[in-house]
Every structure is written in C-alpha cells, then in structure tokens.
Amino acid sequence: MTKSMTLKLDSFGKEIVKIDKPHGYYYESFRIFRKNKVAMVSMGVLILLILLAIAAPLITSFDPDKQVLSERLLSPGVKGHLFGTDEFGRDIFTRCIYGCRISLSVGIISQLIASVIGYLMGVSAGYFGKRADDVISFLIQVFSSIPFLLFAMALMYALGSGLLNLYLSLGLLSWANTARLIRGQVLTLKQQEYIQACIVNGGSSTRIIFKHLLPNCIPMLIITNTLGIPSAILTEASLSFLGLGVPSPTASWGAMISSAQTYIRTNTYYSLFPGLFIIASVMAFNMLGDGLRDALDPKLHK
C-alpha cells in the first residue's frame, strides 16, 4: 500500500497535509490479477465469447434456426459457411455463436442463483448456530452427496426442457459447496471484535448479515461462483446432449454434438466445432477462477 504525504501552503499560509488514501483491497487484487498472464488471456477469451453471444446477429448474416434444405451438410468453407452446415442446412458457425448465449447464460445465472442460496444457507448456519446449523449442515451433506448430473436429469425431466428450468435446476443443485465455505468463513468472522461489538450494540441480525458479513464473504463468493460456472456449462452441454436441455430448434453446443453423432462417417467436422467452443469456455472460466483465487487471497497482498 502506498502512502505519500504532500506539504502545501493554502492561501492563509496554513499547512495542508494531504495523505493519499491507501489502495483498497480490490485495487490490490486487480493489480495482482493484471500481472497473471494466463488469467488475463482467459478473461480476454471470455469477453470475446460474451461479445459473440451479444452481437451474434451482427457477426453473421445467417439465421440460426432457418432451414435451407438445398444446402444440407456442406463442408466447411463451402458457399460462405465457415464451419459448413448441418443436416437442415443451417450454418454451423452461426449456431455455435448463438450457442454461446445458452451456455454462458446457464453457467453465469445458475451459479448466481447457487451463490444466493449458498450465502443465505451458509450465513444462517454459521451465524445462528445451534439447530439451524445442525439442519443446514445436514442439508449441505445431502446436497453434496447427490450425483449432480443424475439429479439435473431428474429435475429437467420433471420441470420440462427450457432455459429458465436449466437456470433453476442447476442453481438448486450446486449451492452446497458455497454454503459450506461461507459457513466456515462466518464462524471465524463471528469471533472478530467488530462483529461482537455490533451484536452488543444491538445491531439486528439482518444488518449484521448483509452489512457486515456479506462484504467479507464477497471474495469467496466471486471465486466459488467463477469456479462453479465450468461445471454448470459442462452439465448443460450433457443435458442438451441427452435431449433434456433447451427445446429442439434452439442452438446449443451439447445438442449440436448430439445431432452430429449421426454423421460421424460423412461429416467429421460437424461435431468438432461445438466441442471446441465448449472447451474454450470451460477452460477460460477454470483459469480465470484460478487467477481470481490467487488475486483475491489477502495473504498475497503486499
């Protein structure tokens, strides 16, 4: 942290002492993060993917769902189709780009839901203790023993396929890890003087939970959230591959790979491209998460 003093005289001849404020925690974290090349590159890849998802209609002139039966199963590069076309004559590049929308939004939103549930569960267990802790700790154990993909399948089956249901079911299934970590964090924070002081001063539980504990848990939430996204993306791809993800005409990487299965003898490239998009996004989130974990670790701050 940098501190510097500047001495100046104001118009009345009095000394003005100016002390630069020490840089905050997040500024320090950002400084460390910026030096991490791998993390910066993955951040770049992710920004690119997000831009592709948002600006999809501007980048490609093809309609992702429009069937052109005269141009079925073209090879990459033929007739302006960068990655070729699928069995309904739809441009594969266009569908890959539109697939970003599904995968990224499922990854990000489902993990946001998981973070909210995980924070509320973890903080209630750690802060209130006693019976609440017993019940929530048990729930955490139950939800971490549940085979993730299996119950995602069951939930998607019961709720029916659809984007909103994907957000919900993946979110509902992946809060346990966050809750466990937050609980541990809150147990330590609760012992600290400023929280004790707030309790003694009669601060309400809501105030303590949201005003004092939450800001201290944000770094951990950022990390678990980012590291949860890749597994959510992979699960979404698996669900769509099995036909339990988004409904049929919508472009999704998993579903594209599933339909490419029929054409492995003739169109080898068809299954290749959506898979590369999955790998790129999953890898980028994984490495971004690792970078954030290093950057947000207060022990590494100077």
Partner 1 sequence: MWRYVLKRALLAVSIIFSISLITFLILNVLPGDPVAMMLGEFADANKIREVRHNMGLDLPLWQQYLQWITNLLRGDFGSSYFQKKPVLFLILQAFQYTSYLAAMAYIIALIIGLFMGIIAAVNHGSWLDRFLMSISVLGISAPSFWVAILLQIYIGLKFKIFPVSGVQTSIGYVLPAIALGTRYAASISRVTRASMMEVMGQDFIRTAYAKGLAPFRIVMVHIFRNALIPVITIIGADIGSLLTGSMITENVFNIPGIGKLLIDAINRRDIPLVQGGVIYVAAVCVIIYFIVDVLYAVVNPNIRFGEK
* Interacting residues toward partner 1 by CB under 8 A: 138, 141-142, 145-151, 153-155, 157-160, 230, 234, 237-238, 241-244, 254, 257-258, 260-261, 264-265, 268, 271-272, 274-275, 278-279, 282-283, 286-287
Within the chain, strands assigned E span: 5-9, 15-19
For partner 1, give the closer residue by CB, 84 or 219: 84
CB of 37 to partner 1, least distance (A): 13
Q: Which is nearer to partner 1, 226 or 271 (CB)?
A: 271
Long-range Cβ pairs for the range 153-159 (8 Å, 24+): 153/239, 153/242, 153/244, 156/239, 156/244, 156/245, 157/244
Instruction: Specify the residue, 118 or 230, whose C-beta has the smaller distance to partner 1.
Output: 230
User: Closer to partner 1 at the Cβ: 25 or 269?
Assistant: 269
**Number of residues that this document lists for the chain:** 302
CB of 170 to partner 1, least distance (A): 14
The least distance separating partner 1 from the CB of residue 148, rounded to whole angstroms, comes to 7
Q: Is the dihedral of CA 263, 275, 173, 247 positive or negative?
A: negative
The angle formed by the CA atoms of residues 41, 2 and 287, to the nearest 5 degrees, is 20
Burial of 146 (0-12, 13-18, 19+ CB in 10 A): middle
Nearest to partner 1 of 99, 219 (CB atom): 99
To partner 1, the closest distance from the beta carbon of 296 in angstroms equals 21
Quote the CA–CA distance of 258 and 242 in Å, as a whole number: 7
Cα separation, 223 vs 299, in Å, equals: 15
Minimum distance between the CB of residue 176 and partner 1, rounded to whole angstroms? 12
Least separation in angstroms between CB 224 and partner 1: 16
Q: Give the CA count within 13 Å in the CB-facing half-sphere of 34.
A: 6
In the complex with partner 1, the residue whose CB is nearer, 29 or 42, is 42
